[in-house]
Amino acid sequence: MEAQDTAIEFEDVVAGYGELTILDRLNLRAARGKITLLIGPNGAGKSTVLKALFGLARVRHGRIRLHGEDITGAGARELLARHGIAFVPQGRNLFGQLSVYENLELGGITLGMKTARERIPQVLELFPRVRERLHSAAASLSGGEQKQLEIGRALLLRPRVLLIDEPSIGLSPLVVQDVFRLLRKLADEQGVTVLMVEQNVKSALKTADDAIALEAGRLVLHKPAGELLADPDIERLFLGGGHVPSALA
């Protein structure tokens, strides 16, 4: 990958929580304006990659670069405001008692209320089902609608890089397809770089451009998603326990 095509680069990154090392001299790259899928067994460090990028896991060694600029150790606020990185974490992350609209307003708080309110209708165009529930409590939305709202809230900031952790959890297959289609559209039409963690490997590979597999905090495979999808061993490799043998790297 040429330097100018690289959005995200981890160089020899050692990161974890307190004294605990999770990422163990990890090297990886994610291409600009593409969808890169992170896969691997539970506990491999997939979420930690996103957290290290977003300043939520401590990087003890190595460098993280965004578009060539060193962002190692930067805090979430700076990463969001200055570097255009948005993070949609695993699980539910809304203010359940507040309305859909209020959740969006809060998501855009760093923009100033005027800009946030101008952008809310544009974001809602992407999510008609959420728009219909604008004044309902966020907790009353279905799981899929809540995930769409979380993504919408991140998009208000017009990120250049979207980090998204297991968006498909708890969603029906059709809603998962909607979410994946949206990510594809963001990459293709707006040049957003997407780094996505997904256990729903087969369907995610159909959406992604590249796939990276981690095992025990190290990269064991990086190849075009289509190539991995065509691998006759994919079922055995990823659908039975999710173990990726190092031989595939």
Whole-number minimum distance, CB 232 to Mg ion, in Å? 28
* Residues 125-184, interacting with Mg ion (CB under 5 A): none
C-alpha distances in Å from residue 220, one per residue of 117, 137, 174, 188? 44, 43, 31, 27
47: contact with ligand ATP by CB under 6 A: yes
**How far apart are CB 194 and Mg ion at their closest, in Å?**
16
Residue 116, beta-bridge partner list: none
Q: Which residue bears the tokens 């059709």?
A: 174
- Structure tokens given for 233: 């061993």
Q: What order do you get walking across the sheet with 58-66 strand by strand? A: 20-31, 6-17, 58-66, 69-70
Minimum CB–partner distance for residue 121 and ligand ATP (Å): 34
- Find the helix packing angle between 100-107 and 143-155, rounded to 10°: 30
DSSP of 74-115: --HHHHHHTT-EEEE-SS--S-TTSBHHHHHHHHTGGG-HHH
Nearer to ligand ATP, 127 or 238 (CB): 238
Distance CA 122, CA 152 (A): 10
Q: 85 with 78: CB under 8 angstroms?
A: no
Give the one residue of 2, 4, 19, 42 binding ligand ATP; rule: CB under 6 A. Answer: 42
Binding residue for ligand ATP, selected from 13, 22, 195, 220, defined by CB under 6 A: 22
Partner whose footprint covers residue 225, from Mg ion, ligand ATP, none (CB < 5 to 8 Å by kind): none
CB of 248 to ligand ATP, least distance (A): 17
Please say which residue, 5 or 17, places its beta carbon nearer to ligand ATP. Answer: 17
Contact present, 169 and 176 (Cβ < 8 Å)? no
Binds 218: which of Mg ion, ligand ATP, none (CB < 5-8 Å by kind): none
Give the contact letters, 37-56, x = binds to Mg ion (CB under 5 A), - = no: ----------x---------
When binding is defined by CB under 6 A, the residue of 29, 46, 133, 153 that contacts ligand ATP is 46
Q: Measured over all CA atoms, what is the biggest interatomic distance in the chain, rounded to whole angstroms?
A: 54
With contact defined as beta carbons under 8 Å apart, do 220 and 248 qualify?
Answer: yes
Q: In sequence order, what DSSP letters do the residues of 178-210 get, joined into one string?
A: HHHHHHHHHHHHH--EEEEE-S-HHHHHHH-SE
**Count of residues in contact with Mg ion, rule CB under 5 A:** 1
The region of 39-47, 76-84, 146-154, 171-179 touching ligand ATP under the rule CB under 6 A is 39-47
Phi, psi dihedrals of residue 23, rounded to the nearest 5°? -90, 125
User: DSSP class of residue 47?
Assistant: H
As measured in angstroms, the least distance from the Cβ of 90 to ligand ATP is 6
- Residue whose CB is less far from ligand ATP, 43 or 226: 43
Under the binding rule (CB under 6 A), the answer on residue 17 touching ligand ATP is yes
Nearer to ligand ATP, 103 or 200 (CB): 200
Which residues contribute to the site for ligand ATP (CB under 6 A)? 17, 20, 22, 40, 42-48
Which residues contribute to the site for Mg ion (CB under 5 A)? 47
